[in-house]
């Protein structure tokens, strides 16, 4: 096919591109597909240097944004992304935080206005395949929900129908992650006990507490499972580039070798299906090449 193949993902914060699409970005770039990343916010309410949390007095939101802008540049380089578009909204913080109400925040931005800006990029690039999050923002973060809303609204303004995917994690894999998180929490409780701090382990939030936390997808409903084993080095590099946020994450603790063994697949569900694909494909561009 003569048409240039183009992939575009709409992500909420710097680092989301690496965690949910790092593998497919690198793989598609290796295959000669043009890859575009739209990052909606500057990530002001991530951790500040030294792991300082956003509610701490010495957390400087603008400094965090400046650090994360450079980290995003490094991740984009590692993934071979052709074009980065920063929409430049302010991070809205987690659900219920007062930052949600900041008029500069992405959550406070009118959907029509942000969608119009995204639609401009979509008209320039004409991606056949677009990726963002489901209506719960995958895990309930307001900026992820807003990314979903503006993407769906922008696509409606196009003169063609792209294939839209949402990132997903199969229930079978989510069960393994939950076990890992629980094991890490037990280790922290033990470490605290040695320091004389006695506490109960924090239970992970589940969909029983909040529907938006329904992160897993039944395995049979996964529409694309992409083998990213040829791209796990780059995915690890891209995650590592965001060191102010994830130096402490379970990915980094795993180390590169275990990461390459474990993180071999990225999963998606199809939200639009103009090519009438059936079943689970192994390529986001199935039907286009
Ligand atoms: Zn995010």
Which tens digits make up the pLDDT trace of 61-73? Answer: 999 999 999 999 9
195: CA distance to ligand 1 center in Å? 33
Count of CA atoms in the C-beta half-sphere (13 A) of 228: 32
DSSP state of 102: -
For residue 140, the model assigns a pLDDT of: 85
- What distance in angstroms lies between residue 191's CA and the mean position of ligand 1's atoms? 29
Give the residues across from 170 on adjacent strands: 217
38 Cα–ligand 1 center, Å: 13
Distance 284 CA to ligand 1 centre (A): 22
What is the distance in A from the centroid of ligand 1 to the CA of 194?
34
Q: Are 142 and 108 in contact (CB under 8 A)?
A: no
Please tell me the predicted confidence (pLDDT) of residue 159: 98
Query: C-alpha 250: how far from its chain's center?
Result: 16
What's the CATH class of domain 6-170+217-270? alpha beta
At residue 203, the pLDDT reads 72
The structure tokens listed for 234 are 């780059």
Distance 183 CA to ligand 1 centre (A): 24
- Are 145 and 13 in contact by the 8 Å Cβ rule? The answer is no
DSSP letter at 5 equals P
Give 90 Cα–ligand 1 centroid separation in angstroms: 12
* Ligand 1: centre distance to CA 124 (Å): 25
- What is the domain partition of the chain in residue ranges? 6-170+217-270
> Cα(162) to centroid of ligand 1, in Å?
24
Q: Name the residue among 133, 142, 139 with its Cα closest to residue 164.
A: 133
Q: Ligand 1 (ion): which residues have CB within 5 A?
A: 12-13, 16
Residue 138 alpha carbon to ligand 1 centre in Å: 10
Residue pLDDT, tens place only, 204-241: 665 555 555 568 899 999 999 999 999 999 999 999 99
Write out residues in the chain with pLDDT < 70, as ranges. Answer: 1-2, 204-214
pTM, to two decimals: 0.92
Q: Ligand 1 centre and the CA of 200: distance in Å? A: 28
């Amino acid at each position: 096919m003569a048409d240039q193949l183009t992939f575009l993902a709409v992500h909420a914060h710097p680092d989301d591109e690496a965690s949910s699409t790092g593998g497919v970005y690198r793989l598609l770039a290796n295959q000669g597909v043009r890859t575009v990343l739209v990052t909606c916010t500057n990530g002001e309410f991530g951790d500040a240097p030294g792991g300082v949390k956003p509610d701490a007095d010495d957390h400087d939101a603008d400094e965090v944004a400046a650090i994360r802008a450079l980290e995003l540049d490094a991740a984009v380089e590692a993934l071979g992304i052709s074009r980065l578009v920063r929409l430049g909204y302010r991070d809205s913080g987690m659900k219920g935080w007062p930052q949600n109400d900041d008029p500069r925040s992405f959550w406070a931005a009118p959907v029509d206005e942000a969608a119009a800006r995204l639609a401009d990029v979509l008209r320039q690039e004409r991606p056949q395949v677009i990726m963002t999050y489901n209506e719960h923002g995958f895990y309930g973060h307001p900026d992820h929900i807003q990314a979903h809303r503006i993407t769906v609204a922008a696509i409606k303004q196009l003169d063609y129908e792209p294939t839209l995917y949402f990132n997903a994690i199969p229930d079978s894999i989510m069960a393994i992650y939950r076990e890992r998180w629980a094991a890490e929490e037990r280790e922290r409780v033990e470490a605290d006990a040695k320091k004389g701090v006695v506490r109960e382990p924090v239970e992970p939030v589940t969909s029983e507490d909040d529907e938006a936390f329904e992160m897993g997808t039944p395995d049979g409903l996964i529409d694309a499972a992409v083998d990213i084993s040829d791209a796990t080095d780059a995915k690890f590099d891209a995650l590592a580039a965001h060191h102010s946020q994830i130096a402490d994450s379970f990915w980094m603790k795993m180390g590169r070798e275990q990461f390459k063994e474990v993180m071999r697949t990225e999963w998606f569900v199809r939200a639009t299906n103009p090519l009438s694909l059936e079943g689970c494909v192994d390529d986001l561009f199935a039907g286009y090449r």
